[in-house]
């Protein structure tokens, strides 16, 4: 299993980091992740730029209910 540094919720457009803090992801970044293509590279880049996760960190998508 892959260890994640952050979880991204598509429905809420929020990123939860390891500390438990939750950050609202800008719409233009959040739209790059879809159910059919859970590519999180732009969400990860945004999180790294804002120093929310380390550059070698991983972002996983929370599956929709």
Q: What is the pTM of this model?
A: 0.87
Taking the C-alpha atoms of residue 39 and residue 7, their distance in angstroms, rounded to an integer, is 13
Q: Quick one: pLDDT at residue 38?
A: 87
Say yes or no to pLDDT of 19 above 90: yes
pLDDT above 70 covers what percent of the chain?
Answer: 94
Q: Quick one: pLDDT at residue 1?
A: 45
Q: Which of 14, 57, 16, 61 is nearest to 34 (CA)?
A: 61
Burial string for 22-56 (b: 16+ CB within 10 Å, else e) reads eeebeeebbeebeeeeeebebbbebbbeeebbeee
Mean pLDDT in residue range 36-58: 94
Q: Which of 57, 12, 24, 58 is nearest to 39 (CA)?
A: 58
**Any idea where the domains of the chain sit in the sequence?**
6-61
DSSP state of 62: P
């Amino acid at each position: 299993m892959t260890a994640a540094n952050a979880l991204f919720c598509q429905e809420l457009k929020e990123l939860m980091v390891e500390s438990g803090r939750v950050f609202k992801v800008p719409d233009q970044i959040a739209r790059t992740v879809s159910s059919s293509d859970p590519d999180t590279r732009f969400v990860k880049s945004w999180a790294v730029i804002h120093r929310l996760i380390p550059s070698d960190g991983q972002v996983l998508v929370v599956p929709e209910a």
